[in-house]
Amino acid sequence: MSTRVIKKNRVPMPKQEPSVRIRNFDEVALGYTPEQAMEEASRCLQCKDAKCIEGCPVGVDIPTFIKYIKEGNFLDAVKKIKEKNSLPAICGRVCPQENQCEKLCVMGRRWEPIAIGRLERFAADYERQSGSRFVVASSGEKGRVACVGSGPASLTCAADLALMGYDVTIFESLHVPGGVLMYGIPEFRLPKKVVQDEVEYVKSLGVKIVTDVIVGKTVTIDELFKEGYQAVFIGSGAGLPKFLGIPGESLNGVYSANEFLIRVNLMKAYLFPKYHTPIYVGKRVAVIGGGNVAMDAARVALRLGAEEVYVVYRRGEAEMPARREEVENAKEEGVKFVFYSNPIRVLGEGWVKGLECLRMELGEPDETGRRRPIPIPNSNFILECDSVVVAIGQSPNPLIPMTTEGLKIGEHGNIIVDSEGRTSRKGVFAGGDITSGEATVIAAMGAGKRAAKAIDQYIQLGVGW
Amino acid sequence: MHSGKVTNEIVVKKELAPSIKLMVVYNPLVARKFKPGQFVIVRVCEEGERIPLTIADADDESITIVFQEVGKTTKMLGQLNVGDRILNLLGPLGRPTHIENYGHVCCIGGGVGVAALYPVAKALKEAGNRVTSIIGARTKDLIIFEDEMRRVSDELYITTDDGSKGEKGFVTDVLKRLLEKNIFDRVFAVGPAIMMKVVSDVTKTKNVKTIVSLNPIMIDGTGMCGGCRVIVGGEPKFACVDGPDFEGHLVDFNHLLSRLKMYEKQEKEVMQAA
């Protein structure tokens, strides 16, 4: 009888050294080699009743794709993933697996869970680099659907509908498709080439993508129906940046995280003047907020040449909503954290000179379950800085709700949908951040997937309203 | 594409004044939706910036844009010719100017802003207003859209800083004089930020409601970046989605002027770069 050797720890992810990577925008995590992937895959217990699948918002058959990797059948592994997920190279990089599939991994009860995300990324990268992508283009015979926006929700909805045989057109307001994957997430975490390759995959399924069209202005949803689209999916994202509403917030040198990241990621300001869009960070940068976007902004600021980058957060490290991994990456790179501090004023004349903050302590838990920060009187202090990035979240863009009659809107400006993505208006579906407020890429993809099913039912059977 | 033209193809190009160019651009989707006061965002090359340009006119299939070659993008745009395609063009963006019959209105345009003022003046005239217009520029060569403005105005005043055409002085000199008669029910001003500031200062003394079209730096033009925020009535507003029109008496122009200079150094650098 043979005893199974349990490998307690996962195969580490090869990464660029912090001292090197803070001087470039190249990807930090380098990805597994085939040997590393097979070794990690061999740790999987191949549970019959696999809990990990329950943790995946799009329901990928995780044990089976891992089995294929273990056997060296990498292309079969990707095929298996793509039955449920059209954007695996993206998800393998930016999904918060630690809160989803990996959280439920049985191995994780005693040891480290299987590195499912890294394996997903490996399989997707292997296929992309091999050049042997498996594609069946849509017949387009089942009906015509329009998707608004080209971020993860729309791309997934469109891909799923194409796979079912629909003729799908995506309308994007920016000059490139990808939405937040292009303008929001930095190159060093999600290379834009990877995003465009997965967009190309979605196009190869027969999905058409029209850029430079803003639905709500260039065309309205009513006009899309008049043009013959039978259903419309709205995946326009959470586009409107929030500000703190403190004095000095409109001084030169204060950016919303959206503007900061759009300049760098979408417009490639890090390559100025070859690319024409400028950005200025100066020597000291204060980033306000504790989420993933704040971590992205802080790490971008370092790479733009800032000598000191502070993340200013009103609660403590344990309360930060950012992924652990991203916080660790930021720390390794030298980002400094200023916890329990709440900005009350941006100082400067014309240009930013500093950020005045109040020290905070934690009181009783609030409605989110996190302890509410309370200011400590007379604890004001000044953080000197040359620029400030406000990364405290975004709200849904009101453009489509404003120009579309019959859409029920929530108090935060979000479009109200049922569990399948149906809005209050017949034939109109929505998903992703426009419905939920800011969430994750994979949550948006899950919503796009559910909506695709509901759209199919609506067009084929007329059900839903 | 029954006409054989491709989207964003330049169908007419004219030099209106040294460094001021007019282009008629084929884009039926934008043209059919355009209302006075709205703008487009353009990008001319893969490395290029996204910049806002106010639409000066439109028919069923094309829009007219007028721009002054002051930066990298406008210079590159100016080098395009009839038959070339503008790489990206998004619109029409922003809230249209609110048009109704106010009675007697004064339309004030400065420099290249006169082109953006023209559709507003035209719509105001069509709505039944009596339209008095004042247009100005540094010197006579830079006066544009004179004939167009004359057609839609009951009276047209012209000023130049150097006196080479019309009255010597600023548009606000004429405005001050006309305001003495208390004849205007509303004033509309489009032009350099400093001109709109002075116009607003002048009309405030007579309490004549004044609408200005603000021109801050923008990127996406759809409300996403917040880079175009202006302070109106003490509150931050996004010019791209809340504007570009605002009540001049409530606008913090010093703030706008300061933000317009945010990248002065980089703008020079990119012009010098090959």
Picking from A145, A151, A134, A152, the residue whose alpha carbon sits closest to that of residue A204 is A134
- Is the C-alpha dihedral spanning A275, A276, A279, A280 positive or negative? positive
Whether A262 has its CB under 8 Å from any CB of chain B: the answer is yes
- Partner-chain contact B231 A250, CB within 8 Å: yes
pLDDT of residue B2: 53
Model pTM above 0.90 = yes
DSSP H or E segment with residue A266: none
- Partner-chain contact A275 B47, CB within 8 Å: yes
Residues of A in contact with B241 (CB under 8 A): 398-399
For the stretch B205-227, pLDDT in tens is 999 999 999 999 999 999 999 99
- Partner-chain contact B266 A273, CB within 8 Å: yes
How are beta strands A341-349 and A351-365 bridged, if at all? antiparallel
Which residues fall within 8 angstroms of residue A330, CB to CB, at 6 or more apart? A295, A298, A299, A311
Distance between A256 CA and the closest CA of chain B, angstroms? 7
> Which residue is closest to B269 within chain A, CA to CA?
A273
Closest in A217, A252, A398 to B258, CB measured: A252
User: How many Å apart are CA A289 and CA A415, to the nearest integer?
Assistant: 25
Chain B interface mutation, best of A169, A212, A397, highest count of B Cβ atoms under 10 Å: A212
Give the mean model confidence (pLDDT) for residues B199-208.
96
Contact B246, B97 (CB under 8 A): no
Which residues fall within 8 angstroms of residue A265, CB to CB, at 6 or more apart? A182, A183, A184, A185, A186, A187, A192
User: How many Å apart are CA B86 and CA B80, to the nearest integer?
Assistant: 8
For the stretch B157-188, pLDDT in tens is 999 999 999 999 999 999 999 999 888 999 99
- Partner-chain contact A280 B262, CB within 8 Å: yes
Residues with pLDDT less than 50, chain A: 1
- Partner-chain contact A214 B267, CB within 8 Å: no
pLDDT of residue B76: 96
Is the confidence at residue B30, as pLDDT, over 50?
A: yes
Whether B261 has its CB under 8 Å from any CB of chain A: the answer is yes
Closest in B72, B91, B220 to A262, CB measured: B220
pLDDT of residue B1: 46
Q: How many CB pairs under 8 A join A and B?
A: 112
CA A14 to chain centre: 22
pLDDT of residue B274: 63
The residue count of chain B comes to 274
> Which residue is closest to A238 within chain B, CA to CA?
B224
Closest in A219, A253, A263 to B219, CB measured: A263
Closest in B33, B261, B269 to A218, CB measured: B33
Chain B interface mutation, best of A220, A221, A227, A276, highest count of B Cβ atoms under 10 Å: A276
Q: What ipTM was predicted for this assembly?
A: 0.94
For the stretch A285-319, pLDDT in tens is 999 999 999 999 999 999 999 999 999 999 999 99
Give the angle subtended at the CA of A265 by the CAs of A260 and A269, to the nearest 5°: 70
Residues of B in contact with A211 (CB under 8 A): 88
pLDDT of residue A109: 92
Chain B interface mutation, best of A171, A173, A175, highest count of B Cβ atoms under 10 Å: A175
- Partner-chain contact B29 A255, CB within 8 Å: no
